[in-house]
Every structure is written in structure tokens, then in C-alpha cells.
């Protein structure tokens, strides 16, 4: 159950777009379309932003989108806003019926 | 409104035990799988365990398998995590998120968490 690999940090300017990658294996990210993304502001609880690779839960801005290719999933945030500055975590269901998170990415706007 | 309230955290010595509880409201508790996810101070999220709505199936991370037991009482809308043989590396905030959909994830609602500190 090794953690999924995410970049430690990414940055962008307001209005720009950024992409955060999440690399796993054929036993997790590559096995199913069950990749999720969470946003966590400092001192706050995680918030589900994307489920099932590319689905936005109700209430989530459409500036957030997800995709997957092979063993790597990606979260793209378009039209960056100051409020998007947070930690982002990917997660994936695995072939062992477990769940694995990525190490997290700190987004600086 | 969905509400999840974790309790039971505290300071415990290495090798000790602790039982966490999570009181749920605002949804049909027995219809959804529930999980425990932890976050060590300044670190990332780590999935710990998930139990199905019926309580019939449970899943664990390798790091806690054989030491932690997840359970639920659907008559009380409460989720539990029995933690035995605690280690320093179990120190974390423990969350009890609700599972969205029919699988073991994702997690759509989270409580505020309860802090477990394992130290002598």
C-alpha cells in the first residue's frame, strides 16, 4: 500500500491554470476509474472536489476538473483564485479493496 | 444536514488501547459505508479502515491490520474504532468520513476529528 505520488508543491498566478499529477500503479490508479481529489485549507477538514476521476460533486466550482491516463491522474484548476490556495490530495481505490492517498500537494497562488 | 462528531481521543502510552466513537446524524446511517482516515501532525491523509453499511465487511490498511478493529452500531448511528497496541506513529487526528456511493470511497462528509497522542 504505497502512497500515490504527487508533487510536493505547485504554484500559479491568479487567473492562470495549474495541473497537479497523481501517479500510482496498475493496482490502484490504473485499475479503476475510482480516483478522487480533496482540498484541505490549513486547520480545516478535507473537502471532496472530484470523484470517479472527473465527476464534480454538487457545489464544487466547475473550475476544478479531473482526468486520467494510464496510471496517472490529474487535477486541473482553471482561473486560479486566491481561495484555491490549499493542500490537495488524490486518492484511489485499489485492487485489494483498500484506499490509498497521495502525499499531498501544496498549491500557492 | 449531515453531521459527524468524533470523540474518544486523548493521550495514551505506547502499547495502550483507546476506543474512538463517531456519532452520525442527518442521513440514513445504515445505508452507507463509513471510514476512518487519519492525519499525523503536519502530514498527509492516511486511510485507516472502512466498514460497509451492514457492518458485514471491513477493510484495513496494512499499518493497522491486526491492531485496530472498526465496528458500527446502526441502532445508535455510531461508528467505532478500537485501537490496541498503539505506537508513536499512530499519533494523528482521526476523522470518520462518510463514504459517498456504494464503494469504499470517496468521502463526501467529514467530522472535525479527534486527536490521538501516543507518548510516554
Q: What is the pLDDT of residues A52-109, one digit of tens each?
A: 999 999 999 999 999 999 999 999 999 999 999 999 999 999 999 999 999 999 999 9
Q: Check residue B55 and give its pLDDT.
A: 87
Q: Check residue A78 and give its pLDDT.
A: 97
Q: Check residue A37 and give its pLDDT.
A: 98
B60: contact with A, CB 8 A cutoff = yes
Q: Check residue B48 and give its pLDDT.
A: 98
On the question of pLDDT at B102 being above 80, the answer is no
Q: Check residue B104 and give its pLDDT.
A: 82
**Among B91-95, B102-106, B108-112, which stretch is predicted with the lowest mean pLDDT?**
B102-106
Q: Are B94 and B47 in contact (CB under 8 A)?
A: no
Radius of gyration for the alpha carbons in chain B, expressed in angstroms and rounded = 13
pLDDT tens digit sequence for B39-95: 999 999 999 999 999 888 999 999 999 999 999 999 999 999 999 999 999 999 999
Interface contact A91-B106, CB threshold 8 A: yes
Closest Cα in chain A to B97: A46
Angle (CA) A29-A35-A40 rounded to 5° is 125
Interface contact A104-B108, CB threshold 8 A: no
Q: What is the DSSP letter of A44?
A: S
Which residues in chain A are closer than 8 Å to B62, comparing Cβ atoms? 1
DSSP string, A83-100: GG-EEEEEEEE-TTS-EE
* Residues B105, B93: Cα–Cα separation, whole Å: 19
Interface contact B106-A51, CB threshold 8 A: yes
Q: Check residue B90 and give its pLDDT.
A: 98
Radius of gyration for the alpha carbons in chain A, expressed in angstroms and rounded = 13
Q: Find, among A79, A77, A48, A47, the residue nearest to A64 by Cα.
A: A77
Maximum CA pair distance of chain B? 41
Q: Check residue A2 and give its pLDDT.
A: 85
Amino acid at each position: 500500500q504505497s502512497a500515490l505520488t504527487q508533487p510536493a508543491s505547485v504554484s500559479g498566478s491568479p487567473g492562470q491554470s495549474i495541473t497537479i499529477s497523481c501517479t500510482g500503479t496498475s493496482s490502484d490508479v490504473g485499475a479503476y476509474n475510482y480516483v478522487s481529489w480533496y482540498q484541505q485549507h490549513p486547520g480545516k477538514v478535507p473537502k471532496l472536489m472530484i470523484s470517479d476521476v472527473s465527476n464534480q460533486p454538487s457545489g464544487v466550482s466547475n473550475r476544478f476538473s479531473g482526468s486520467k491516463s494510464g496510471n496517472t491522474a490529474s487535477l486541473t484548476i482553471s482561473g486560479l483564485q486566491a481561495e484555491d490556495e490549499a493542500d490537495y490530495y488524490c486518492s484511489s481505490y485499489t485492487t485489494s479493496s483498500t484506499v490509498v492517498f497521495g502525499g499531498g500537494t501544496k498549491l500557492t497562488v | 444536514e449531515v453531521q459527524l462528531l468524533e470523540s474518544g481521543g486523548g493521550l495514551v502510552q505506547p502499547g495502550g488501547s483507546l476506543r474512538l466513537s463517531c456519532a452520525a446524524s442527518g442521513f440514513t446511517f445504515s445505508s452507507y459505508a463509513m471510514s476512518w482516515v487519519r492525519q499525523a501532525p503536519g502530514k498527509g491523509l492516511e486511510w485507516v479502515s472502512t466498514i460497509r453499511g451492514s457492518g458485514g465487511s471491513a477493510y484495513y490498511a496494512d499499518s493497522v491490520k491486526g491492531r485496530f478493529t472498526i465496528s458500527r452500531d446502526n441502532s445508535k448511528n455510531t461508528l467505532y474504532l478500537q485501537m490496541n497496541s498503539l505506537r508513536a506513529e499512530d499519533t494523528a487526528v482521526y476523522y470518520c468520513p462518510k463514504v459517498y456511493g456504494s464503494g469504499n470511497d470517496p468521502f463526501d462528509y467529514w467530522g472535525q476529528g479527534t486527536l490521538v497522542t501516543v507518548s510516554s
